[in-house]
Amino acid sequence: MNEIQRAKVVLKILNKIYPKIKVPLQSRNVFTLLISVLLSAQCTDVNVNNVTKNIYPKYFKPEHFIKLGRKKIETLIKKIGIFRIKAKSIYNLSKILDNDYKGKVPKTFEELEKLPGVGHKTASVVMSQGFGFPAFPVDTHIHRLAQRWGLTNGKNVNQTEKDLKRLFPKKNWNKLHLQIIYYGREYCQARSCYGITCKICTTCYPKRKKPLKTRKA
């Protein structure tokens, strides 16, 4: 089975298990989506949602976070990892959005990636989930799964993103990256499947007997 055949297997299984998919991070608008994605670095979506459910009803615009100030933002998000660094990024990007973009989130990768605390993955999620632009956000989990399923050589997340975009139709990207995340959490966990027990792994590699070591991002 070559990589194109494996990609077809992955798409078929994921569409069967997840015909419809929900965005895991809760948000009120594109700005709060941006904040939630920024907060999710080194943190679970569940934890982010638990924290932001008490924030977004009242604070959901850049001007709101500017008025709060860094210290108050720190207090609001202190249950999230590296909260001081994230609070600084939220405060600074809020000022930039308010001053340079009239409080709106820009709709290009280039502009998003210039914002404090916003890397390519975060920008990809916002472009995909916020604006519906075809994107394929690749985090460490998708990077690991793509290696297990023989869809990339695993050099780095940038290479993995290029490989996945090459193998899957653009119309599937936005839904597919979420399907992969959900499948990884439910069936192909790092410390239980090891590339030899879930349906995708056993279908793509029926003769694989030993746990597969994957390259870190």
Question: Could you give the residue numbers annotated as active site?
Answer: 121, 139
Contact 115, 139 (CB under 8 A): no
Contact 175, 107 (CB under 8 A): no
* Alpha-carbon distances, residue 168 vs 19, 164, 189, 199 (angstroms): 17, 6, 22, 19
Residue type, 142: I
Helix axes 45-52, 30-39, angle to 10 degrees: 130
Residue 114: how many other CB atoms lie within 10 Å: 14
